[in-house]
Chain A
Amino acid sequence: MTIAIEAFTILCISAGLCFFLAGSVALLRFPDTLTRLHALTKADSLGLGLVVLGLLPQTDSFLAATKLFLVWAVAQIGGATIGQMIARVAKDENPKP
C-alpha cells in the first residue's frame, strides 16, 4: 500500500513537472502573446494541479490537505483572471484576424 502511494505521488509530481517544463519552453518559443498565454495558463493549472494531487496522500491531516487544495484553487482563479486580462489587452493593442 505504501509503495502504491509513493508511486502515485512520484508519478503525479513528475507529470506536473512535465507540464511546467512544457509551459516554460512554450513561453520562450511561441511567436506571440496569445499563444504563449494559452500554453502558460494550461501548463500552470494542470502542472500545479498534478503536483497538489501528488502531494495530497503525503499529508497527515485533513486540514493540511484542504490547505493544499486551497492553494491550487486560488492559483487557478488568479491565473485564469490574469490570463483573461492580458489576452484582452493584447487583443485591444494588436487586433488580428
Chain B
Amino acid sequence: MTLSFVFDASLAMLTIAVACYAVVAREIFAAVAAFISYGLLLALVWVRLSAVDVALTEAAIGGGVTGALLIGAAAKVGNSGSSADPAEWRVGTSLTAILCVATTIGIAVAFLSLPQQAPTLATLAVKHQPSTGLGNPVTAVLLAYRAIDTLLESVVLVFAVVGVWSFALDRHWGGTPETSRVSNSAGPLVFLAQLLPPLGIIVGVHLVWTGATEPGGAFQGGTILATVWILVMIAGLVAAPSIDRPWLRFALIGGPALFLAIGVAGIAFSGAFLAYPEGYAKAVILVIEAALTLSIAVALGLMAIGAPARRPHR
C-alpha cells in the first residue's frame, strides 16, 4: 500500500462525505458551503487523474462561480424552501433520492462492465493533432473535433443570462442589477477589489493564451475574468451596467456569433460546417477563443449579479 494510494483513498472518502453532507445539511448556507468544498475537492480528484484541464474548470466554475451563484440564491431564498408542506416535500425528496441512487448504480454497473481494454479515441485524437496546430489535445477536442459541442455550450450561457434576466419586474427592465449587498462591512473588500484585478486579469488572459499548448482555455480564463468583474462590482468600485447597453449585448453574444459565423463560412471555404481552412486552424481557433472568453466572462458576471432590480434612469 503506497503513500499515494492512501492519499487517493482519503481524498475519495472525504469527497463522498462532503457530498453527502451537502445533501443532508439542514441549513441552506451549510449546504452551500459544503457544495463549494465539494467542488474544490473534486478539482483535486481531477488533478490526481491527470486531467488538469477539467480540474481548472471544476475549481473555477464548479467551486467558484457556481458557489457565488448559490450563495446569492441562498441569501435571497433564506430557509423558505423547507417551509413547504412536509408531506409533499417528503414525497418529492424521496423521489429525487431514488432517481439519483438509481442513476449512480446505473453508471457504476456500466463502468464495471466495461471491457478491460476500454474503447478509446485518444490515439486518433493525438494522431490528427498536428493538423490543428495545437499542443493541447483537450483544446483540439473542444475547438476542432467536437467544436459543435463547445458552440452549443457557449449558446447555452447566453440562454442562461436571458433566464436570469427574465426574473426582472417589468418596470425594472433595462435597469441595473442591485449589487450593494455587503456595504456595511465592505472596507477590506474594497481593498481586495483594488489589489486583485491586475493579477486576476493577467492570470485569466494567460490561461486562455496558454490553452493552445497546455491546460487552460476560454472557459477557465473567462471564469477568472468574470470573478474579477464580480469582485469590483460587489465592492462598489464599478457600477453594474444597465442591461440594455448595446456594448453589453454585443459582448454577450459576440463569442457564439463569431463561432457560428466561422462555422458557416467553413461550409463555403472548407466544405463542411465548422471546418477550418487548412493551415490556419490554430489562428482561427485562437480568434474564436478570444471572443468566447469575453462572452463567457460577461455571461457569468451577469448571472452572478442577477436580474435588474432598479429602474433604468433616463
B-binding residues in A (CB < 8 A): 70, 74, 77-78, 80-81, 84-85, 88-89, 92
CB closest chain-A residue, reference B188 = A84
B185-A81 in contact (CB<8A): no
11 additional A-B pairs beyond A70-B199, A92-B184, beta carbons within 8 Å, are: A77-B192, A77-B196, A78-B192, A81-B192, A84-B185, A84-B187, A85-B182, A85-B185, A85-B188, A88-B184, A88-B187
**B167 beta carbon closer than 8 Å to chain A:** no
- The answer to whether A81 touches B189, judged by C-beta atoms less than 8 angstroms apart, is yes
Once bound together, how far apart are the Cα atoms of A85 and B186, in whole Å?
7
Q: Which residues of the partner chain A approach B196 to less than 8 Å between Cβ atoms?
A: 74, 77
Q: Per-position contact with A for B172-192: 1 when CB-CB < 8 Å, else 0?
A: 000000000010110111011
Residue total for B at the interface (Cβ-Cβ under 8 A): 11
| Residue B118 CB within 8 A of the other chain | no
> What is the 8 Å Cβ interface bit string for chain B, positions 192-231, against chain A (1 contact, 0 not)?
1001100100000000000000000000000000000000
Q: How far is the CB of A53 from chain B (nearest CB, A)?
A: 21
* Across-interface contacts of B182 in A (CB, < 8 A): 85
Expressed in whole angstroms, the minimum distance between the Cβ of B75 and any Cβ of chain A is 12
Ranked nearest first, the 9 interchain pairs of A and B with the lowest CB-CB distance are A88-B185, A84-B188, A81-B192, A81-B188, A85-B185, A89-B185, A85-B188, A85-B189, A77-B195
Binding site for A on B (CB under 8 A): 182, 184-185, 187-189, 191-192, 195-196, 199
**A15-B254 Cα distance, complex, nearest whole Å:** 51
Docked CA distance A77–B192 (Å):
7
**Between-chain CB contacts (< 8 Å), 11 pairs:** A77-B196, A78-B192, A84-B185, A84-B187, A84-B188, A85-B182, A85-B185, A88-B185, A88-B187, A89-B185, A92-B184
Residues of A within 8 A of B187 (CB): 84, 88
Q: Are A74 and B199 in touch, CB under 8 angstroms? A: yes
Say which residue of B185, B195, B199 sits within 8 Å of A92 (CB atoms): B185
Residues of A within 8 A of B192 (CB): 77-78, 81
Could you tell me the distance between the alpha carbons of A81 and B185 in the complex, rounded to whole angstroms?
Answer: 11
C-alpha gap A65/B191 in the complex (Å): 26
Chain B residue contacts of A88, Cβ below 8 A: 184-185, 187
Tell me the smallest distance from the CB of B29 to a CB of chain A, in Å.
12
- Bound complex: CA A85 to CA B191 (Å): 12
Docked complex Cα distance between A78 and B227 (Å)? 14
The smallest beta-carbon distance between B204 and chain A, in angstroms, is 14
Cα A53 to Cα B192 in complex, Å, equals: 24
CA A84 – CA B189 in complex, angstroms? 9
B199 — which chain A residues lie within 8 A by C-beta? Answer: 70, 74
Q: Which of A70, A84, A89, A92 has the most C-beta atoms of chain B within 10 angstroms of its own C-beta? A: A84
- Which of B185, B187, B196 has most A Cβ within 10 Å? B185
